[in-house]
Structure formats: C-alpha cells, structure tokens
Structure 1
C-alpha cells in the first residue's frame, strides 16, 4: 500500500516503515506526532510524542485509562488501551505545521479493542467488502462561527450578520472571508478538494462541501475538521460551535451523509439512468434505503446523539421559515423533507437526519450495517415521496405508511436499546456503554429546571 501524507501519495511503500514516515514528516518541519483516537462522542483524544518516538508509539507504547473517558468502556482495574496510529493517514496540521495528527485504532496488548469507534466502522466496511462493496461517504460540514466578546453571550462572528433570511448571503460570507478562506485553504492543502462553500441559513452559520472518499477516511477527516476549524477560529478571536441547534430561532447544523456503494473497480453501484422510479438509483440503492428506513429510529440515536439534536429535527421554528430538517422516516427524490433524499442525478443517497455533533465512525457503521441488511434481504422501500411532507396530515401519513422519527433523545435511545442490529454492530461493551451514557444524559436533561419553565410557571397561579 502506498502511504499518503495530507491526502497526497508519498514515496513510502510500506505502512510499517515508520522511519521513512518520520523522516518525511521531519523534512516538512514536523516536530511532534499526535497519536489520536475518539471517545464515544467523536471527540479526539491524544498523546503527543516527539517524532523520534514514533516507532514505539506505532507499536502501542502510549496507553490510556479508558475509565477516564466517555465510551471507552473499562473499569479502573482494567489493562489500558493504546492507540496504534494509522501511518497511511498522517495529516500535517495546517494551523500548526509542527504537529502531525494520526488517527488510530485502540488495542489492548496484542488484541484489537472491540469498543474502539474506528474499528467498529472498519468491521462493518470489511463486511461490505466480503460482498464486493466499498462504502463511499461524503459529509456536508455545517457549523457556526461565533464570538462572545460583544454581548457576553454567543453572537455571530460578524456584527452585521443579522438578516432574517441569511442563507447564501454573499455579504455575510465576504464579511467573514478571512476566517472562512483560511478554513477552505487548509482543507484544500490537505487534498480534500472543496468544491463549494457558503453562508448557511443561520446567522454566523457556514457550510463547506468537499469530495467524498471511503467511509473510514471521511470519518477521520470530519474528526480532524472539527478540531482544525476550532483552532483556526480561535486564531481569529472566535469559536466554532458544532451544537446542532444553538439558537432556537435559527436553523440548526446538519452533517448530511451522502452515501453510495462502489465495486472493486470503483464503479458507482447506486447509479442507474434507467431507474423506472425516475430517481437515477439502482435496485441495490433502493434495497440499501429500505434497510436504513427499517432501523431509522435506532440510527437517529447515533447520528443525532444529543438532547439538543431533537430541537433541530422539528417542522417549524426557524425565523427563516422551515427548519430544512427531516421529521419522518421516509425517502424521496430531490426533496429535502425526507430523511433520505436522492439528489438530482441519482447515484447517491443523502441522509439528512445526521447532525454536526455525531461520532462519524459509529454513525457510518450503523447506517452501513442497516443498508447491507436491506441488500441481503432484498427489501423494497416503496415509491419515493415527492410532496412537501411538512404539509401532510396525520391521515395522509398513515395512508402512506410514513412514520415519525424520534422526537427526543429519550425516545431515540429506547429505539436503539430495542434494536438487535445496533448491538451486533457496536459489540456488547460499546452498545451498553453508549445506551447507558445517553440515557443518563436524557435523564439529566429531564430533571433540569429550565428558564422556560420558571418564566412560564413561577408566577402562573
């Protein structure tokens, strides 16, 4: 396998040749390697090692106490986990070129750690490979650039970013050009091929779109992207928020999954120009959709993983109109009111329920496993929905057999807990840990007395 550096082919021919990796990085000015993995929430954790210690770190010398982290299910008396860096995936950090970031897989001694998020996804992609499929994934990155310097509370980075309908606003983009340009330039430096970026539908909200790749690499990129955008924003006196719905009166941030399967030669197996349903999707793609819809409620607990996520998955609430977010478990053509959308031209399926706070490894693993189940069983999702589903009555929805997505994290977690596919994908340790952590998060929220309650009830009677 030819190794890569910042997404570009290198001259390193063997993944195991740590010396060449270290020498190449040193020649680029790198001093330290950040050996990284993610916790349950998709947040990167790391130890930094000088480059001359990369060899021992590549063999798992840097150990972590899992009990200190969310979703690394261990007791304090358990042997420690150690990330083994993926030497083919090194990224020189554009915000600090003395650091190279390595995504890693957790091991315990000589054994892969079953509850490692990245290895969970690799297990499912390996399952897909046995069927002859590569799972390709593109993730749309939406985020807020905010400051608290002016008001003492979060506000859009630009003080004149105040339009009621700021979506695609060129002035709003130009007034944030220095920080957005630095983000996009960094992405292109890494070889990610940004093909568009814009001011999104919330004040202070932006989106970047870049070329898809295999699911593991795309998940690595999203984890690093969130880190990188935060560091670049900090240089500009700002902070980046990945909270799905930071403002009640504005649109939230999705992280739409654009999915397809390819064969060994790289041909898109979801594309079909002769699709009788008129969506440009193959029979294989429809089977995949049906599998995802079968497990939609459980999937939501992973791709919309916070209490706040379900403030985004609502019909109304944004000052600019509708929320642009799905609320029903269904699919359609180029119709954004469906959970699963087949964009114009076909050949891919977009999952619109995923948000910016999700752990991409776990989300991609569960969606792929559900899609593969649909393929194995030859499931049919029925005809695509082309209407504005927000306007349908409950009677219409019932007649079309369209169900609601979960309306709270609590509801989603109960669906996840009841779904045997999720346990088989995550393994017992990660599944039990995830359900317990998220159930506790929901219970904590349910017990919290909010300002809305005191405003409404304190002097009500």
Structure 2
C-alpha cells in the first residue's frame, strides 16, 4: 500500500472524519494477548499514516517477535475499519496491518487471520463469525471488589431484572455506542454470575468481527470507567461463579453469492447443518486440544473449563472434545436454528485474530480431508464419568494451560498457521506463564499446609 494508491480514499475518509469533529487518528494493532497498541496522529497526517509512517519496535511488546536491532514494524491502517470513538468523539480508531521491509509482518495477529481467510477464499468460502461477549462489571470499595448492585446477590442470578436495571446506565451507554457504530445489538442481559453480563450483536466477516471484539474490550472498559466501575475480561474471576466465554458462532458462505453453506433442510443426523458443516466440525474436533491454547489462552482459562465450580449449579463450559445439537455440554454446539456451529470453549480473554485463524484452518482441513465427526451427542455430557468417556472414545480438553501449550506445540497445524516466529514466540511466552504460575505459592496452599504437619 502506498500513499499514491490510497490518496483518493484517504481524502474521503479524512473529510468524513473532519466533518464529524475528529482531530486525531489511531494507527492500531494488537499484541499476543489481543490488547490494542497504538500511536496517535493529527488527522492532517492521515495520508502519511495510511502509507505506513507510524513505526513500532516489536521487541518492546509481547508476541511480536523481533530483535532490538530489527527494522521497525510499520502500521498500515485498513481505511474501511475507521470508527469514531463513541466516548471520545475527537479520536478515530483504525485497525492496522503490520509491515516490515515492505512486506506483511508474518507474525502479526491480523495478518495471520488474513492468510487463513485467503485460504478459505481459494476454496470459494467466506468465513462468517459472531462472538458473544461475556464479561463482569465490578467496583472497588474499601472492603474490596464487589458488584455494582447491592441487589445482585442471588445464587442463580441469570436473567435477573433488578440487578440489570441497577446497571442500566452504563449498559445503555455501551449498547448505544455499539448501535451507533452499526454493530446491530439485538440482545443483552445479566448472565449466570453476580456482576456478569452478555451483549450480543450481529455476525460479520471474521476480520471485521475480530476487529470489533478487540475494540469492544477497550470500549467497554472506557465507558464503564466513566461510571466509576471497571470491566474485567478475566475468564474466571471467582471460583464459585460461572466464567466468561466468547462463544464463536461460525459458518462458511459462498464467496460469490453469500449463501450460507452450513444451512440445509435435509440433515439425517438431526442437527440442522449441512455435510460441509459436519466436515468443518470434524476438523475442529481433530485439532481441539491444540486450539485450546489459543482460544483459552490463560492459566485462569482452565478454571472455567470444568464441570463444577459455580454456585448456580452449572459452569456452562465444555470439558469434552465433542459436538452435538442444541446441547450446551459439548465443545461444539449447533444451535436450535441450525446453519452455524458454536464453539463454547473460547473465552473472553482470547486474541480473536489468532483464535479465528486456527479454528478456521482446522475446519478447512476437515473439508479438504473429507473428515466425519461421527454421531452427535444429544445427552448431558456432564453425567458421564471419566471411565465412561474413555470407553466411548471421547477426548478431553486440556485441563491446564501447560497441557494445552504442549498440545499446541506438537500439532503441525499450529506452526503452519502461525508461521515459525509466532509459533515459537507463543509457545515461549505461554510456557513461561505456566511455569511462573506453578512456582507461585498461593493463599490456598498456605492456608492448607502452613500449620498442617
């Protein structure tokens, strides 16, 4: 991308933003964690920014594998991604692709996803994705962290009206911001844990959805902060409450017509999905253990992926490598309406670019290799013992970040999708995270063992 090639488009974007009162543009990208990094430039500098004027040192960030002596990374904004910050109208956000030495930087998260989207396009597919945003909103008090509402104290608080109404001020501002940007919010509610909420909005192509997911985390925190609270995207903040997922709702569409290729009126297995969809499912199940490291990427993630651990009676999180119909105890679920596949293992802390890239690659492999996922599971998977699960030949999702990273490291698809540098960087960072956790002496250990013997 050069300044000359983009000048006309830059002019139209700059004019639109100027008329809206924008003064500054953010050349933004994400690190390993999906956290936004950026530089601000005056809007008058937009043409140069579009040509890659803003430079970054990858060695200063997690998961942008560079040496200090390497040429800097250049952020080249996707002009179609421009959005005015709803809470700060004088600033516009641009999702950007990273380049170095005039070429796309192989290890950049957005570039990794775009490579897999290109692979899907070569097969005639568009990858559509919806991400359900679950998160907690809490407040700091002299006594510690607590819920916003003093009425948010039910053992089973899902869908509670009173606590939701007590949070409606910040919820309204956040939902209105999303609506203003054209995201198509169609539902929001109080979720299964005190202080937990979910906002659902329209699916889109996967690149747009990943851009929106990382922007959502920034926006939610900024808007909630104005009200004196904070949003947390920690997967499992409380041991006795449900965790926060980021369920991936996925389908493939015909690249020419836009037709949903997962939809069918004739499914002998009864889930309401096409044979193409079943092959996609089979590919995802094949690589599920390795996928876990990316879609459930923290130590804390694996405290969500358990059968028990919520005062409401269910964690609503998968533990088995299985699929089924409208059955929330499977890793992959085909919702009642059919035509899409929901991955319930993904949590809200994940980098959506990396998660979408690897899950898409797995699904495409299932299609290329004509894989079959077997019969769907319609029963309550939580009722099985581990011995019964083993007898049925059903695999388990990794039980810790350490296990998941080992699975990621030994799966050849991981290296193929991430590229050599990001593959190594991801493993190194996550193994260090796991080793630090293992070396940490927790309050639980001290309370149990300090005077035990």
Q: What is the TM-score when the length of structure 2 is the normalising length?
A: 0.98
Residue number in structure 2 paired with 1:217: 208
Give the one of 113, 124, 128 matched to 1:121: 113
Residue 415 of structure 1, aligned match among 407, 410, 417? 407
Distance 1:327 1:260 in 2: 23
Corresponding position: 1:232 with 2:223: yes
Question: Aligned pair 1:275/2:267, yes or no?
Answer: yes
Q: Secondary structure at the match of 1:34?
A: strand
Structure 2 equivalent of residue 449 of structure 1:
441
Name the counterpart of 1:287: 279
Which position in structure 1 is the counterpart of 2:68? 76
For 2:38, the equivalent position in structure 1 comes to 46
**Which residue of structure 2 aligns with residue 249 of structure 1?**
240
Could you give the per-residue CA deviations for residues 137-170 of structure 1, whole angstroms, max 9, x where no partner exists? 000000110101252x221122221111110101
1:312-367: per-residue Cα shift (whole Å, max 9, x none)?
00000100111000000110000000000000021000000000000000000000
Distance apart, 1:401 and its partner CA:
1.5
TM-score, structure 1 as length reference: 0.96
Whole-angstrom distance in 2 between the partners of 1:186 and 1:17: 25
Name the SS of the counterpart of 2:141 in structure 1.
coil
RMSD (CA atoms): 1.1
**SS of residue matched to 2:281:** helix
Whole-angstrom distance in 2 between the partners of 1:412 and 1:368: 18
Are the counterparts in 2 of residues 245 and 308 from structure 1 also a CA contact under 8 Å? yes
Distance 1:83 1:301 in 2: 27
Deviation at 1:16, TM superposition (A): 5.5
Alignment check: 8 A CA contact 2:279 2:371 kept: yes
1:389 aligns with 2:381: yes
Whole-Å separation in 2 of the counterparts to 1:214 and 1:61: 28
1:310 corresponds in structure 2 to: 302
Secondary structure at the counterpart of residue 266 of structure 1: coil
For structure 2, the residue ranges without an aligned partner over 5 or more in a row are none
**Cα distance in 2, alignment partners of residues 360 and 312 from structure 1:** 18
Aligned residue among 122, 134, 139 for 2:131 = 139
In 2, Cα distance between equivalents of 1:80 and 1:330: 44
Aligned residue for 1:424? Answer: 416
For the 8 Å contact 1:253–1:356, the answer to whether it is kept is yes
> Is the CA contact 1:15–1:88 (under 8 Å) kept in the aligned structure 2?
no
**Paired residue for 1:260, among 246, 251, 257?**
251
Matched-pair contact (CA < 8 Å) for 1:145–1:240 = yes
Q: Does structure 1 conserve the Cα–Cα contact (< 8 Å) formed by 2:28 and 2:75? A: yes
**Match in the other structure for 1:23:** 15
Q: CA deviation at 1:14?
A: 7.0
Matches of 2:297 and 2:281, distance apart in 1 = 21
What is the correspondence of 1:45-124 to structure 2 with a 5 Å cutoff? 45-124=37-116
1:10-69 per-residue CA deviation (whole Å, 9 max, x = no partner) reads xxx978521221111010000000110000000000000000011111111111111000
Length, aligned pairs only: 448
- Whether contact under 8 Å (2:7, 2:47) holds in the other structure is no
Cross-structure match for 1:363: 355
**Structure 2 CA distance, aligned partners of 1:257 and 1:150?**
38
Partner of 1:184: 175
Q: Decide whether aligned partners of structure 1 residues 15 and 342 sit closer, same or farther in structure 2, where only a CA change above 3 A counts.
A: farther
Q: Give the conservation status (yes or no) of the 8 Å contact 2:32–2:63.
A: yes
